[in-house]
Amino acid sequence: MIGFTPGTDRRLPAWRDVVAWFTALDAASPRVAVRTLGTTTLGRPFIAAFIGDSATIADLPRYREIQRRLADARLRAPGEVQRLVAGGKVVVLVTSSIHSTEVGGILTPMVLAERLAAGDDAESRAIRAATLVILVPSLNPDGVDIVGDWYRSTMGTPAEGTSPPWLYHKYTGHDNNRDWYFFSQVETRLTVDSLHNVWHPEVVNDIHQQGSTAARIFIPPYMDPVEPNVDPLLTAGVNALGTAMAWRMTADGFTGVSINSTYDAWTPARAYQHYHGGVRILTETASARLATPIDIPFDSLRPGRGYDSKTASWSFVAPWPGGHWGIGDIVRYQTAATWAMLASVASDRAAWLTSFATLGERAVAGRAAPGREQWPVAYVIPTAQRDPAALAILLRTLQRGQVEIHHATAPVSIGSVTWPAGSYVIPLAQPYGSFAKALLETQHYPDLHEYPGGPPKQPYDVTAHTLPLLLGVTVSAVHDAAPSFASAVIAPIPAPRLVAPGLSDHPTKRIAIYQSWSPTMDEGWTRWVFDQYRIPFTTITDRDIRAGGLRQRFDAILIPDQPARELSRGLTGSYPDSLKGGLGAEGARSLGAFVDDGGTLVALNEASDYAITALGLPVRDVLDGVADRDFYAPGSILAATLHPRSALANGMPASAAIWFEEGPAFAISDSTQATAIATYESASPLLSGWLLGGSKLAGTAALVDARRGRGHAVLFGFRPQYRGQSMATLPLLWNALLGRFDR
């Protein structure tokens, strides 16, 4: 159906062929039921294949009901667990190719589905008897074609095997796998609403690929840190299952298998299931150049984080000898890993279901569960908030994560503060209380170093996810007596209508957003936020900027977060010449002329460093060249004080929680030409996450209005629209785009 054997060099399928293949499998096998869950951002079908014994597939509602009762201990009679466990199947969700350049993940699901459906050996039968596998062949079907089309169009050229020069998800690119607690994207919502929340998988296997020159595959256990709200029973489960997979792969002759390396378990952004009763089995197989094979001599192998790929160790028991590596190898490793997982789960069927039931019992016990004695008893959210839309987003986010929210029936006093009756109450003794707690509390990332006194141990991802800070919503933890609340759970909160006055629907300004051929996720998120607020904009590229005449076309130009060097130099390597060159000297001159003529240039985060140089602004990034051991904040929420009378700070509170991620901090060298709009007043501005060397920030500026000619450059030392979440700082961005300046 797809016209070639999955794993054939230099061949990738189109999404419609993948869908047709699964549809045909459904028609041919009573062990397979394919469902279309909805449509993607760009309108493609989003599918899932349910695979198991034909009797299981014929009776799916029965198994869904067993899962529902195992998940929520409040629904079961005492002693019912044994009966449910005896009759249940372990639900295993296998998701693949969310990252579309990790192309093995587009093919492996077909190999797995065929083997699961048709395998006639004892092991295949045992897996079908014990499990219900839900296979999502791609969490990003749009990207299958975005990458596949690029690959085919560059076949036989020097660019064969490169990543496309645009994002492989319309808005988020690689960040599509950082959306599992905010649910901003269609694909995340389909997966959470139709699969996680309905089928409560005990095991979730997410198939990924990593770089080419270290381990052939990563399998959990994860490295530290583990986010503290993940139940220890889940962490123990992931450790046991991952280690069993590595054992089986080694027995089957696979080498280069790494466990307990590189990947940590800190952020809920990648792990919805960690707060919903499921273990997350991430696998990361080494990449080739898309479907084009490469040669990797043993000597060219590089150390990984937590192991040396040339040396055997306890967590890397058999090094790979090097050599040829292609799409067939990738599919073989991915298939073997998932199969090893399924075989292990099948032989422990009752243990997985019992463990799942226990997780549910611990969840509804709240503080009575061992290890949770110090938890708050509830969170309270007053109904009166600065931004009612942000409140609605917070409540909707929690509701999508199946958190039950109630109304207080009496005023709630916490210390000296009293919130009125009618406030929202979130008791933590509920099935998904840990999800609410993880998102509502502040993060204290452990101070991990490579060695005592050495540089910080780089986290795999960002270190903070406190939604009340990002959204600017007041939330209080209740530690003493449980507040009284109505037993009824509140109804789903309707979606708020988002409005940026002066910009939404009928804009008073002509806005351009710069898009690099070296694509950035921040640019995609910026477009997503603009689309949510219905703010029209024009996308401009290197050529548009270099051509000049910008002031005739635009009032404001926004450059999303991107390293200065990448902005000025653009794409390098084997891409077509038409995409190369970046903004260059011509672009810098043109942007300078735009500002001189009265335009507003808005630069976000690292792009501010570009603007300082390109426009010759009297501002310096004090963090430029500072070593990680002296200053480090790899994705944290910091406090900044706003200039109280500045028009740019219009509508903001006196102090703002800002998203700081490898950003600049500014010192102004000529105060007649530049003004600090937001500053770090303290040497310890950390609100959530991890910050080393905060004293470097004291007295520096986080937001600067720099003047040149008749115009302005607004330099953000942070990401005011971080992953679509930081609604608290959006007014600063709107004010800048509207050209709200004091003079």
Q: What is the binding site for Zn ion (CB under 5 A)?
A: 99, 208
Q: How many CA atoms lie within 13 A of 206 on its CB side?
A: 18
Specify the residue, 99 or 169, whose C-beta has the smaller distance to Zn ion. Answer: 99
Q: What is the closest distance, in whole angstroms, from the C-beta atom of residue 97 to Zn ion in the complex?
A: 9
Specify the residue, 99 or 546, whose C-beta has the smaller distance to Zn ion. Answer: 99
Q: What is the closest distance, in whole angstroms, from the C-beta atom of residue 301 to Zn ion in the complex?
A: 20
Phi, psi for residue 689 in degrees, rounded to 5? 110, -130
Q: What is the closest distance, in whole angstroms, from the C-beta atom of residue 552 to Zn ion in the complex?
A: 43
How far apart are the C-alpha atoms of 648 and 742, rounded to whole Å? 8
The answer to whether residues 724 and 528 touch, using CB atoms and an 8 Å cutoff, is yes
How far apart are the C-alpha atoms of 435 and 428, rounded to whole Å? 9
Specify the residue, 44 or 99, whose C-beta has the smaller distance to Zn ion. Answer: 99
Specify the residue, 99 or 708, whose C-beta has the smaller distance to Zn ion. Answer: 99
Q: What is the closest distance, in whole angstroms, from the C-beta atom of residue 653 to Zn ion in the complex?
A: 38
**Chain centroid offset of residue 282 CA:** 14
Q: What is the closest distance, in whole angstroms, from the C-beta atom of residue 207 to Zn ion in the complex?
A: 9
Whether the upstream peptide bond of residue 225 has omega within 30° of 0, thus cis, is: yes
Residue 706 pairs with which residues in a beta bridge?
674, 713
Nearest-CA neighbor of 595 among 557, 650, 651, 638? 557
Specify the residue, 208 or 696, whose C-beta has the smaller distance to Zn ion. Answer: 208
**Chain centroid offset of residue 131 CA:** 28
Specify the residue, 99 or 406, whose C-beta has the smaller distance to Zn ion. Answer: 99
| Nearest-5° Cα angle at 723, 222 to 616 | 115
Residue 147 pairs with which residues in a beta bridge?
none
Specify the residue, 99 or 248, whose C-beta has the smaller distance to Zn ion. Answer: 99
Q: Which two structure tokens, joined as six digits, stand for 358?
A: 């226990």
Residue 424 pairs with which residues in a beta bridge?
381, 407
Other Cβ atoms within 10 Å of 452 Cβ, number: 5
Q: What is the closest distance, in whole angstroms, from the C-beta atom of residue 391 to Zn ion in the complex?
A: 33
DSSP 195: I
The answer to whether residues 136 and 48 touch, using CB atoms and an 8 Å cutoff, is yes
Specify the residue, 72 or 142, whose C-beta has the smaller distance to Zn ion. Answer: 142
How far apart are the C-alpha atoms of 545 and 523, rounded to whole Å? 16
Whether the upstream peptide bond of residue 382 has omega within 30° of 0, thus cis, is: no
Distances (CA, A) of 427 to 68, 274, 434, 564, 666: 21, 19, 10, 47, 43
Q: What is the closest distance, in whole angstroms, from the C-beta atom of residue 260 to Zn ion in the complex?
A: 19
Q: What is the closest distance, in whole angstroms, from the C-beta atom of residue 337 to Zn ion in the complex?
A: 14
Q: What is the closest distance, in whole angstroms, from the C-beta atom of residue 98 to Zn ion in the complex?
A: 7
Residue 642 pairs with which residues in a beta bridge?
678
Specify the residue, 95 or 735, whose C-beta has the smaller distance to Zn ion. Answer: 95
Specify the residue, 171 or 610, whose C-beta has the smaller distance to Zn ion. Answer: 171
Q: Which two structure tokens, joined as six digits, stand for 627?
A: 């070593």
Specify the residue, 208 or 708, whose C-beta has the smaller distance to Zn ion. Answer: 208
Q: What is the closest distance, in whole angstroms, from the C-beta atom of residue 210 to Zn ion in the complex?
A: 7
Binning the chain into helix, strand and coil, the percentages to the nearest 5 are 35, 20, 40
Q: What is the closest distance, in whole angstroms, from the C-beta atom of residue 517 to Zn ion in the complex?
A: 22
Q: What is the closest distance, in whole angstroms, from the C-beta atom of residue 147 to Zn ion in the complex?
A: 13
Specify the residue, 218 or 379, whose C-beta has the smaller distance to Zn ion. Answer: 218
Phi, psi for residue 195 in degrees, rounded to 5? -115, -65
The answer to whether residues 420 and 486 touch, using CB atoms and an 8 Å cutoff, is no
